[in-house]
Structure 1
Amino acid sequence: MKFQNLVKAFLPGIFLFGYTVGTGSVTAMAKAGADYGMSLLWTILLSCIITFILIHLYGKFALVTGETALYAFKKHIHPLVGIFFIITLTAHVCGSIIGVMGIVGEVCYEWSKSFVQSGIQPIYFAIFFILLVYLLFLQGQTRVFEKVLAFIVAIMAICFLVNFFILMPPPLEMLKGLIPQVPETQAGESSFLVIASMVGTTVFSGLFILRTTLVQEAGWTFKDLKKQRRDAMFSALMMFVVSASIMAAAAGTLHTNGIRLDNVTQMIGLMEPLAGFIAVSIFTIGLVAAGISSQFPNVTLLPWLLDDYHQNKPNMKRTKYRLIVFVLSLLGLIVPVFQAKPIAIMIISQAFGALILPVTVACITYLGNKKSLMGKHAFTWTTNLTLFLILIFAVIMSYMSYSGLWDTMKDL
C-alpha cells in the first residue's frame, strides 16, 4: 500500500517523464552518443535542470492562482497568446505523431526479422499501436492514462538502465562529458544542430503548459508546494538518468567502433554484432515503450489545450475530442502506408518547437511577477535572474536550431 501511495504521489511527474522520453528523445540521445561519445552529456544535464525549473515554476503558478496556463495567457496577457500556443504545439505534435509511429514501425520490422524470415511489415505494427493508444484514450480518465503510462514508463526505464550496465563506456569518459564542450563538426553535420535537437526533445514547452492541468487534476493546493517540487525534481532526474543511459549505450557500442548513426532504426542491425541479441531486444522493447508513452500525450494534447484555454474541466469523453484524437492518430499511418520519409515534416515540427520555448519562458516570467496574481508569492530577483538566463539560452538554442534546419532543408 505504501508503494502504491508513493507511485500515486509521483504520477504527474511520471506522466511528464514518459511524455519527454519518447522516440524523438531516444533518436537524439542515441545519435549524440554514436557520433560524439559522452562529450555532450553536459547538454542532457543542463536541459534537465532547466526542465525542472520550468516544471516547478509553472506548477507553482497553478497552485498559487488556481489557474491553468493557457487560460492565464488568454486572461492576463492576450487571447492571441493562448491561440498561438494551441496552433504551434498542435503543429509540433502532428510531426511527432508521424515520426513516432514511423520509427516504432520500422524498428519493430527490423527486430521481427530475427523471428520471421522476411519480417512483419511496419504497417501492421503501426496499426496495432495506434489502436492500442486509441483504446486507452477511450477510457476517458486522466488517472487511467497516468497509471497505464506509469507501467509503460517503468518498462522503458528498466530496459534502458539494463542496457546501460551492459554497454556502459568507461566511467572517466562519462565524467568528462559533464564538462561543457562543443565537439568539432563531423561529416558536414554541425554539432550545434545535434545539441539543439537534444535540448528541444527535453525542454519541450508543452510539458510546462500541461503541468498546470495535471496539478489541478491531482487536486493539489498551495499546501502541496513541496510535494509539487519533489514531483518535478523526480521527473527531471528520471529524464537525465534514462537519457544518459541511451547516450551511453550508443557511445559504448557504435562510437567505440567508429560507427555514425543517421537513423535510430539502424541501431537494430548495427548493435547486434557489438552488443548481442539480448541487448538489442532490451533496447527495442524500451524504444517501443518510449514511443507509446509519448504517443499517448501527443494525440491527446489538443483536447487538453482546448479545455485549458476555455477553463473547462478536462473531459476526454466528449464526442468531438474522440473524433479529433482519431484523426490525429491516423497521422501515424503516413510513413508506413506511403513509405514516406518524414524529414520535412519533422523539420517543420522542430522549428515550431524552437520558436515556442522563448515565448514560454517570457510568459511565465510576466505572470510570475504580476503582484495581483501571485501576491507575496511573486517571483524573487533570483528566480527572475534564473529565468533571464534560461531565456538567453532558449534564444541561442532557437538560433542554432533554425540555422541547422535551414542548412538541412537546402540539402533536401
Structure 2
Amino acid sequence: MASTENKKSLLQKIIAIVLAFGPGIFAIGYTIGTGSVTSMIVAGSKFNMQLLWVLLLSCTFSGILMFAYGNYALITGETALYGFKKHLKFGKILAILIIVGITFGQWNSLMGILGISSNIIFEILALNFETLATYKYETVLITAVIIIVTFYLLMLVGKYTFFEKILVIFVTLMGLSFLLSLFFVQPLPVDVIKGLIPTIPDIPGGKMLVAAFVGTTMASATFLSRPLFVKGKGWTIKNLDQQKKDSITAAILIFVISGVIMAVAAGALFYEGKAVTQVLDMANTLEPVAGKWAVTIFFFGALSAGLSSIFPCLLIAPLLIADYQSGTLDTNSKQFRIITAIACLVALIGPAFGANPIEIQILSQVFNVFVLPIVILGIILMLSNKKVMKEYKTSIGVYIGMYAALFFSLVISYNGILALTEYF
C-alpha cells in the first residue's frame, strides 16, 4: 500500500512540476512551432550544426527580453503596448507598427503551421491507407479545416489556465518525441563544437535561414505577450524571483529542444547528402535508421509542435489589441471572436492554394525579424524611464544584454533584407 502511495505521490509531484511551469510555456509554444522545427531541420540537413551559434545567441537574448518585459509588467502593473502608448512620445505610432508587423508575421506563420500539420496527418494516413495518395489536395484541405475549426471552438470556451494546460501537454510530447529521435541519430561532437563559431553559410539560401532562425527563436510575440500572460497567471511584484526563473527555464528549454531537432536532422540527413524541400522529407530524417517507428515518433513531435503553435498564433492579434486598449484580454468579447475568426480564414489560404508549406514557413519567419529592433528599443526606453519605473533599477547586466540584443537584431534585419532581395 505504501509503495503505491509513494508511486502515486511521485507521479503527482512530476505532474505538479510540469503544470507549475508558468507563462514560459507560452514562450515555448510561440517559439518552437513547426516554423522552428522546419528551420532547424532545413538548417541541420543543409549546413550540419553550422548555425548552432545563431540559436545560442537568439535564446540568450530571448531569456533577457522575456525577463525584462515580465519585470516591467510586475513592477508597473501595465502591459507593454499600453505602456508604450501612455509613456513614450511616439508611443502610439510605435505600438500600431508593432501590432501590424507582428500580426502579419504570425498570421503568415499560421498558414505554414496549418499546411505542415495537415500534410503530416495526410502522410500518416497515407502510410496506412494507400488509396488516399491520389486525393492529397482534398485530404490536406479537409484536415486543415477540421484542425482550425476545432481550435477556434476551443478558443471560445478557453481561459488562460485552460490554454496553458493544453500547451504543457503538446510541448511535453514534442520534447520527448525529439529526444527519443536523437537516440537513433547523432551528429559528430566536433561538428557541434564548430557550430558555436560564428559563420554564415556562403551558399544560396544561407542568409535566408539565418534570418528565419532568429525570426523563430527571438520572436517579438513572445516578449510582447509576456506581460499579459504574467498577469493572467495572477503574478504580482512578490513573484519577481519566480518570473526570473521562469524566463531562464524557458530560454534553456527553447535552446535544448531546438538544438536537439537540428542535431537529429544533421545526423540523419546532412551526412547522407539529403536536403529537405517537402514535408515528407522531414519524416524521412529518421526512416533509414529506425524504420517506420521513427517516422511515427518524428511526425508525432512535429505535429505536437504545430498544434502547440496554433493557440498562441490565433491569440496574438486579440492579445496585442487588448494590450494596446487597456491591458486586459477578454476571451468572451465579440472583438476576440471576430479577430480569431479572421485569423482562422487567413490560415486556410496556404492549404486552399496547395502552396508548399515549408517555403511559406521559412518566409514568414524572415518577416518576423523586421519588427524585432522596435520591440527591443521600446522596452529599453521603458525600463530607463525613471517616472515609470520609480525606485526600481534595472541591473547593468540586463542593459548590456538588451543593447547587445538590439545590435544583433539590426544586423539580422539587414541580413534579412539581403536574403529577401536574393529570393525575389
Is TM > 0.5 for Structure 1 vs Structure 2?
yes
- The residue type paired with residue 63 of structure 1 is L
Q: Is the 8 A contact 1:167 1:275 kept in 2?
A: no
54, 57, 67: which one pairs with 1:56? 67
CA distance in 2, matches of 1:349, 1:288: 19
Q: What corresponds to 2:94 in structure 1?
A: 81
Aligned residue type for 1:80 = I
Question: Which residue of structure 1 lines up, in the alignment, with residue 341 of structure 2?
Answer: 326
Instruction: Name 1:170's counterpart in structure 2.
Output: 188
Alignment map for 1:284-299 (pairs within 5 Å): 284-299=299-314
**Identity value in percent:** 37
**Structure 1 residue 105 corresponds to structure 2 residue 123:** no
Change (3 A) 1:295 1:76: same
> Match for residue 27 of structure 2?
16
Q: 1:269 to 1:202 in 2, by over 3 A?
A: same
Is 1:28 paired with 2:28? no
Partner Cα distance (1:338, 1:196) in 2: 26
Cα distance, 1:343 vs. partner?
Answer: 8.1
Could you tell me how far apart the structure 2 residues matched to 1:340 and 1:28 are? 17
- 1:238-249 to structure 2, matched below 5 A, reads 238-249=253-264
Q: Report the counterpart of residue 179 of structure 1 in structure 2.
A: 197
**Partner residue of 2:109?**
96
SS of 1:330's partner is helix
Alpha-carbon distance between aligned partners in 2 of 1:180 and 1:293, rounded to the nearest angstrom: 31
CA pair 254-348 structure 1, distance change in 2 beyond 3 A: closer
Displacement of 1:266 in angstroms is 2.1
**Residue 138 of structure 1 is aligned with which of 156, 159, 168?**
156
Matched letter for residue 128 of structure 2: F
In 1, Cα distance between the equivalents of 2:202 and 2:367? 27
Kindly report which structure 2 residues correspond to 1:357-372, keeping only aligned pairs within 5 A, or say none. 357-372=372-387
Deviations for 1:324-380, whole angstroms, at most 9, x for unmatched residues? 212211223222222234688667744542221001111111000011111232334
Stretches of structure 2 that go unaligned for 5 or more consecutive residues are 1-11
CA separation in 2, counterparts of 1:42 and 1:399? 18
3-state SS, counterpart of residue 50 of structure 2? coil
Contact 1:103–1:265, Cα closer than 8 Å, also in 2: no
Q: 1:398 to 1:264 in 2, by over 3 A?
A: farther
Segment of structure 1 superposing worse, 374-383 or 319-328:
374-383
Q: Of 269, 283, 286, which residue of structure 2 is paired with 1:268?
A: 283
Aligned-pair CA distance for 1:395: 0.4
Using the TM superposition, give the Cα deviation of residue 406 of structure 1 relative to its aligned residue in structure 2, in angstroms: 1.5
CA change 1:138–1:385 in 2 (3 A) is same
Q: Which residue of 2 aligns with 1:202?
A: 217
- Maintained 8 Å contact 1:11/1:150: no
For normalisation by structure 1, the TM-score amounts to 0.93
Q: Distance in 1 between matches of 2:237 and 2:20?
A: 15
Work out whether residues 48 and 270 of structure 2, in 8 Å CA contact, stay in contact via their aligned partners in 1.
Answer: yes
Provide the C-alpha distance between the structure 2 equivalents of 1:5 and 1:64, rounded to a whole number of angstroms: 28
**Secondary structure class of the residue paired with 1:138:** helix
Unaligned runs of 5+ in 1: none
- Does 1:116 pair with 2:116? no
Tell me the equivalent position of 1:222. 237
Verify: 1:128 aligned to 2:141, yes or no.
Answer: no
Cα distance in 2 between the residues matched to 1:194 and 1:109: 27
Aligned-CA RMSD value: 2.0
1:256 aligns with 2:271: yes
Query: How far apart are the structure 2 equivalents of 1:342 and 1:168?
Result: 27
Q: Deviations 1:145-176 (Å, cap 9, x if unpaired)?
A: 11111111111111111111221223333233
**Do the aligned residues in 2 keep the contact of 1:39 with 1:177 (CA within 8 Å)?**
yes
Match of 1:301 in 2: 316
The verdict on how the C-alpha distance between 1:8 and 1:346 changes in structure 2, with shifts beyond 3 A counting, is closer
- Pick closer, same or farther for the CA change 1:344–1:113 going to 2, 3 Å: closer
